[in-house]
Amino acid sequence: MTKTAALIHNDAAGPVPSRTLLSRAVRELERGGWEIDVYEPESGRSISDLASQAVHQQKDAVFVAGGDGTVGSVAAVLAGSDTALGVLPAGTANVWAQELGLRGLDWIHLYALEEAARRLVEGSVREVDVGVCNDLAFLMWTGIGLDAQVVSAMEPRERWEKTFGIAHYASQALVSTMMYTGVPMRVSSGEKQWERRFLMAIASNIRSYAGGIVELSPDAKVDDGLLEFWLFEGKNMADALWIVLQILRGDLMETPGVVHFQAAEALFEAEGTLTLHMDGEPRQMEPPLRFSVKHKSLKIICPAERTNPLYTVLHPPVLPGSSPGSEL
């Protein structure tokens, strides 16, 4: 049975021009029974428009050849539909692909897109959660504060800057840290409330953070109906450097000034416009920010990996070869 899909290709993503490499991935998908229409958007808005078009046309899937920002934009549109999301990692960090166990495209792994397509053809479909901040959906995380300032300072980037992704991120983080004094916020969830000056506040749906450099939430599950919230108290460079050190050490649970909780809902209140990022894309939003979860609202095509700790149930509920548009 032929399955239909749109493939949205963001050639501006990542350190490696991917247009010439994409055809090999398309051939792998076609060999696996997919009928593919390839689109190359020119702006972030057109990415969402193309994803909406695929849903309207009742495509079985949308494959994304791009980075985490492109993936997040498409996921936000597909949530609640029967159109599944498949990822061919062509971005800089490719954090979502890393979570699924897919290797990203770089100058060493030039056949990564082809390999990812082959593994997705042999894979299965799962239902995963999507986070919501006010009316905007996100797949991986939303960050407020210092990390959002770093993202805002970095984006958009030239391709040569993406080649030095980690070094570039570290240099921008250092510059931002020198001048940043935190945000006074009141965070509440259920009967609990924290009112302090925070350097960073994070709502995460997955384990990795900071471009995949650290595993911030090792116990996170992408299908449990909960978000992982992290609040980092502080007001100066010394506080920021201490927090970064603890994050890199993976030693946060007992660190003074760090709050962690799991919840399906939370409210962030503050004065003035907040700088944040959603799936790595910078934004400005007016508080209060209301976080919630659309439980198992997004279908994803994942590799045939039966031991990935990202899921609450290890074995995929849909067998390889089933239509992504079918009910789970």
Q: What is the pLDDT of residues 170-226, one digit of tens each?
A: 555 555 555 677 889 999 999 999 999 998 899 999 998 877 778 889 899 999 999
In this prediction, residues 149-166 reach a mean pLDDT of 55
Residue 150 has pLDDT above 50, yes or no: yes
Best mean pLDDT range from 19-23, 255-259, 295-299: 295-299
Query: Do both 113 and 167 map to the same domain?
Result: no
pLDDT in tens, 54-86: 999 999 999 999 999 999 999 999 999 999 999
Query: Do both 46 and 167 map to the same domain?
Result: no
Confidence of residue 231 (pLDDT cuts 50, 70, 90): very high
Query: Is the residue at 238 inside a domain?
Result: yes
Query: Do both 197 and 81 map to the same domain?
Result: no
Query: Do both 104 and 142 map to the same domain?
Result: no
Q: Which of 104-113, 167-176, 177-186, 316-325 has the lowest mean pLDDT?
A: 316-325
Q: Is the dihedral of CA 303, 324, 43, 110 positive or negative?
A: positive
**Pairing assessment for the beta strands 208-209 and 227-233 based on DSSP bridges:** unpaired
Beta strand residue intervals within 96-244, DSSP E: 124-133, 136-138, 141-145, 183-189, 192-204, 208-209, 214-215, 227-233
Confidence of residue 149 (pLDDT cuts 50, 70, 90): confident
> Residue 117 belongs to what domain range?
3-133+294-302
Q: What is the pLDDT of residue 41?
A: 81
pLDDT in tens, 290-306: 999 999 999 999 998 76
Confidence of residue 251 (pLDDT cuts 50, 70, 90): low
Query: Do both 20 and 112 map to the same domain?
Result: yes
Residue 38: Cβ-neighbour burial (10 angstroms; 0-12, 13-18, 19+): middle
- How far apart are the C-alpha atoms of 281 and 142, rounded to whole Å? 9
Residue 319 has pLDDT above 70, yes or no: no
Query: Do both 152 and 76 map to the same domain?
Result: no
Q: What is the pLDDT of residue 300?
A: 97
Query: Is the residue at 312 inside a domain?
Result: no
Query: Is the residue at 311 inside a domain?
Result: no
Query: Do both 141 and 269 map to the same domain?
Result: yes
DSSP class of residue 69 equals H
Q: What is the pLDDT of residue 175?
A: 52
In this prediction, residues 232-249 reach a mean pLDDT of 75
Q: What is the pLDDT of residue 232?
A: 92
- How far apart are the C-alpha atoms of 110 and 43, rounded to whole Å? 25
Query: Is the residue at 328 inside a domain?
Result: no
Domain count within the chain: 2
Query: Do both 287 and 140 map to the same domain?
Result: yes
Query: Do both 217 and 281 map to the same domain?
Result: yes
DSSP class of residue 104 equals P
In this prediction, residues 151-168 reach a mean pLDDT of 51
Q: What is the pLDDT of residue 14?
A: 67
- How far apart are the C-alpha atoms of 62 and 80, rounded to whole Å? 14
- How far apart are the C-alpha atoms of 215 and 250, rounded to whole Å? 7
Q: What is the pLDDT of residue 321?
A: 44
Query: Do both 146 and 230 map to the same domain?
Result: yes
Query: Is the residue at 154 inside a domain?
Result: yes
Query: Is the residue at 326 inside a domain?
Result: no
Q: What is the pLDDT of residue 8?
A: 95
Comparing 16 with 27, which gets the higher pLDDT?
Answer: 27
Query: Do both 237 and 248 map to the same domain?
Result: yes
Query: Do both 129 and 239 map to the same domain?
Result: no
In this prediction, residues 304-312 reach a mean pLDDT of 79
- 237: domain CATH number? 2.60.200.40
Residue 324 has pLDDT above 50, yes or no: no
Q: What is the pLDDT of residue 327?
A: 38
- 117: domain CATH number? 3.40.50.10330
Query: Is the residue at 268 inside a domain?
Result: yes
Average pLDDT, the chain: 84
Q: What is the pLDDT of residue 189?
A: 97
Query: Is the residue at 323 inside a domain?
Result: no
